[in-house]
A and B are shown apart, each in its own frame.
Chain A
Amino acid sequence: MSATVQNLVNQPYKYGFITQIESDTVPRGLSEDTIRLISAKKEEPEFMLEFRLRAYRQWLKMTEPNWQNASYPAIDYQDIIYYSAPKVKEKKKSLEEVDPELLETFEKLGIPLSEQKRLSNVAVDAIFDSVSVATTFKEKLAKDGVIFCSISEAVREYPELVKKYLGSVVPVGDNYFAALNSAVFSDGSFVYIPKDTCCPMELSTYFRINNGDSGQFERTLIIAEAGSSVSYLEGCTAPMYDTNQLHAAVVELVALDNAEIKYSTVQNWYAGDANGKGGIYNFVTKRGLCQGVNSKISWTQVETGSAITWKYPSCVLVGDNSVGEFYSVALTNHYQQADTGTKMVHIGKNTRSTIISKGISAGKSKNSYRGLVKIGPKAQGARNYSQCDSMLIGDNAQANTFPYIQVQNNLGKVEHEASTSKIGEDQLFYFSQRGISAEDAISMMISGFCKDVFNQLPMEFAVEADRLLSLKLEGSVG
């Protein structure tokens, strides 16, 4: 790769600072005792502890999968801290009482939690290591019957909803990391949109890993009752440590008749340094269930961080005429590895799905799209359209596409398109010969390449995502 392109993609990570704060942590390692301790610390009802233990026992019988197109040293599960929370004197009643150190941290990350300074029309749940530290606009949302709170709070306050839906989309033994998450999850967001309600604001969760030795295992559950709709966004950052941290989250979405859930992610976990040292292992299970007729679940993700990203936000289209969508931009640089894509499982009649995946690989990174489109025996009239585009920056990056298509009836229709393009020295020279700097050239080409996906993001975040990608690829011209 030419020196110019090399320099352009070597942008330092902005969010790598560490907050000095006293933490309440459990000892390293995992056992039934650890799980009981976590459950006790969170003052959980009995059913929750049983859920965790059931998951743990399943996990013990499972083996870590290794089929992804990425390699990493073995993870020592006994060396991870499974619970880490900033020490609090007592439970906070309002934002004003939240530790100023924490507020400042989120402020620095561009997520002001004080409602006066809030992003207009966005409610935020801020999660620091293992716990939710603040949720904004709760009262305002409650007026419409919308519940937006941390999952811990939901377990205590709305046990019947949690009991009914938690694990209903991603069962405790679904996969190795989902089982681990189900056993030890610490916090996450809970959203409930009542019948025929259009959620009046964007909901957003911001995840921050601070502790160097802790894993983050958050759990998100969103339930959209019949005729309701919601748009939800998650953002993620972590400090720079030269050890790897495990992030194994589970997200479950349930859409009932005519409901619509739009779930967007801007993921910018620390990706490790230029030599591939450190960074987050982002092994996440995200799945949405279109249970009702005419329901719709739409995943949009912008993945720029993590040493390894391994996730497939999926839609299970059970309800007739339900719709699943997946829009993704995955950017990898240096030694980052991403194996990401989606699963669209068509079960109901006339179900439709769209997959638009854009992979950008720079440096010596590996970027793979892996997707499954399955049309079941009863999914007459099901349709899927997939488009997977890869862009290579320089000569040392890798892009792969692994589409899996299973069609079990002859009335389904599946289309797949793929393309690969490259930003090389000659394109950059063409831009520079017209007086356009290499930074601007790359940013124009990347924005153009990602346009179809960015158009799906909520307006406030589309700008943010565009800026984030430019930042990642910006630098001094050598």
Chain B
Amino acid sequence: MISENSEVILSVRDLTAEVEGTPILKGLNLEVKAGEIHAIMGPNGSGKSTFSKVLAGHPAYRVTGGTVLFRGQNLLEWEPDERAKSGVFLAFQYPLEIPGVSNLDFLRVAYNSKRQHEGLEELDAFDFDDLVQQKLDVVKMNPAFLSRSVNEGFSGGEKKRNEILQMALLEPKLGILDETDSGLDIDALRIVAGGVNQLSHANNAIVLITHYQRLLDYIVPDYVHVMEAGRIITTGGKELALELESRGYDWVREEEAAEVAR
């Protein structure tokens, strides 16, 4: 769904960031427009997850340089909850368990804080219940999960489905999925991918962070980026992912080295 005239959702220029004094991102550039799906691949330790956390504003990561514009505004100035309410959503690689807080309450408070941010009236418990019932279909989730504590005792697949349920409710402008495929069996993978496909449309953008090509069999990206040592070193179409699958990352590294030499 690539269109020249689409709104630029995310524009990252020369981004550098560190965690506990160790530089991880070393000049990252990326532009994401509405209606696009981007996949970021790369070996362990290349900085993919760091990138997602920096976008979401995790306090342990410090931005040392560069700019990040979200729909034309300086994202880095905002607190994490402000980013979330403005439409940046991160599906966690390891969703946290919150004992004692029911999933339904958690979803309702999250949903209403976004409504409030948008100047809309909060939904009461009954209206919200109706809304959430519809959204459950997106990830084929059993309503019983709503009354359980957030992610507590959920299997890996259930946790990931719960993340996508939250995304379905919050309808972000930018959905960043950090290794959402990890730890999923093939059925769960299909359900989660199906959910993401339903949520992807012309007015929002999705960034998938993944190790494996297999997720991309179900969610077809418009662009595939390869990350290495804190930068995006190459970008291609969905064929690139297949190429990586068969030839490994070394091949990209060599290509890039040759590029630099020239």
Contact = CB atoms under 8 A, between A and B. Distances in A.
- B is bound to A: yes
Interface of A: 2, 4, 421, 425-427, 429-438, 440, 444-445, 447-449, 451, 477
B154 to A, nearest CB: 14
Given A2-B59, A444-B106, A430 B101 contact: no
B220 interface: no
Nearest to A447: B100
A448 B81 CA distance: 21
A339 B84 CA distance: 41
Nearest to B94: A426
Q: In the complex, which of the residues B81, B84, B105 has the most CB atoms of chain A within 10 Å of its own CB atom?
A: B81
Contacts of B110: 434-436
A180 B100 CA distance: 42
A477 B79 CA distance: 10
20 contacts: A421-B99, A427-B96, A429-B58, A429-B59, A430-B96, A432-B81, A433-B57, A434-B84, A435-B114, A436-B81, A436-B106, A436-B110, A436-B113, A440-B109, A444-B109, A447-B100, A448-B99, A448-B149, A449-B99, A449-B100
Contacts of A2: 59
A437 to B, nearest CB: 5
Given A435-B117, A436-B81, A444-B109, A425 B59 contact: yes
Contacts of B85: 435
A433 B84 contact: yes
Interface of B: 56-60, 79-81, 83-85, 89-90, 92, 95-96, 98-102, 105-106, 109-110, 113-114, 117, 149, 166, 170
A133 to B, nearest CB: 40
Nearest to B88: A433
A122 to B, nearest CB: 29
A436 B79 CA distance: 11
A267 B170 CA distance: 40
A298 B84 CA distance: 45
B100 A4 contact: no
A326 B109 CA distance: 32
A226 to B, nearest CB: 40
Given A435-B113, A436-B109, A430 B99 contact: no
Given A433-B56, A435-B84, A445 B109 contact: no
Contacts of A432: 57, 79-81, 84
B84 A445 contact: no
Given A425-B60, A432-B84, A435-B110, A448 B96 contact: no
B142 to A, nearest CB: 21
Contacts of B81: 431-433, 435-438
Contacts of A434: 84, 106, 110, 113, 166, 170
Given A430-B92, A435-B81, A436-B81, A4 B98 contact: no
Given A425-B60, A426-B96, A444-B106, A433 B101 contact: no
Contacts of A447: 100
A400 to B, nearest CB: 20
Contacts of B80: 429, 432-433
A453 to B, nearest CB: 12
Nearest to B92: A430
Contacts of A435: 81, 84-85, 110, 113-114, 117, 170
Contacts of A437: 81, 113
Contacts of A444: 98, 101, 105-106, 109
A217 to B, nearest CB: 38
Contacts of A427: 96, 98
A434 B98 CA distance: 13
A434 B91 CA distance: 10
Contact of A4 (B59, B95, B101, B149): B59
A448 B149 CA distance: 9
A431 B85 CA distance: 11
Nearest to A3: B59
B95 A430 contact: yes
Contacts of B60: 425
Given A440-B109, A444-B106, A433 B99 contact: no
Contacts of B109: 436, 440, 444
